[in-house]
Amino acid sequence: MRRDSQADEVAQQWTLLPGERELLANKTGATRLGFAVLLNFFQCEARFPQSRQEVPLSVVACLAKQVGVPAACYAEYDWQGRAIKYHRAQIRSFLCFREATLRDAEALTAYLSEHGGAASLDRRAGQSDQDDLPLPLSALGVSAPGDSGRPQRH
C-alpha cells in the first residue's frame, strides 16, 4: 500500500524533533498545539503566521497527532493575548533569533548602500557557496543561528 506523497511531505517537514518536544512539556490543549504550530511554521517560513487561517489544516492535523491534542483545539488558541507573545519569544530564543531593532535597520541600510543595494542581493542570490548568504549576517553584527548544536532541518 503506497502512502500519499503529499502526506509524506507534510509529515517529513512538520515532524517535531526531541528537543522541540521538550518545549511542550508544560503546555496542554490548545496552548500545546498552538505552540507546536508556531514553532514549526517559524522553522519553515522564517516568520510567524499572521493568523490561524494561514496554516494548512493538513499541517495542523499532523502536529495535533504528534502532540496528542485534537486538531479541533487549534481554533481555541488565543492569537491576541500574552501567551502568544511569550510563545514567540520562547521560540525565537530556542532557535537563536531575536526581533529586529532600529539599529539592525540602520545597519542593513548602510550595508545595502555600500554594496549596490537590491541589485547586489540579486547577483549574490545566484551564488552557490553555502557560506555566502544573500546578505551576510555579519553585516548586521549578528552571528549565524544554528551554532547551538541542535539538529538542522533540510
Tell me the per-residue pLDDT of 91-141, one tens digit each, with 9 for 90 and over: 999 988 888 888 888 888 888 888 776 655 555 555 544 444 445 555 555
Q: How far is CA 59 from CA 7, 66, 146, in A?
A: 9, 11, 24
Contact 48, 41 (CB under 8 A): yes
- The Cα 16–Cα 19 span in angstroms is 8
Residue 114 inside a domain? The answer is: yes
CB atoms near residue 111 (< 10 Å): 16
Q: Report the number of distinct structural domains present in the chain.
A: 2
129 and 68: one domain? no
Residue 30 inside a domain? The answer is: yes
pLDDT of the residue at 120: 53
Range of the domain at 89: 5-94
Distance of CA 92 to the CA centre of its chain: 8
Angle, alpha carbons 65-70-74 (nearest 5°)? 105
Biggest alpha carbon distance in the chain?
57
* pTM of this structure: 0.67
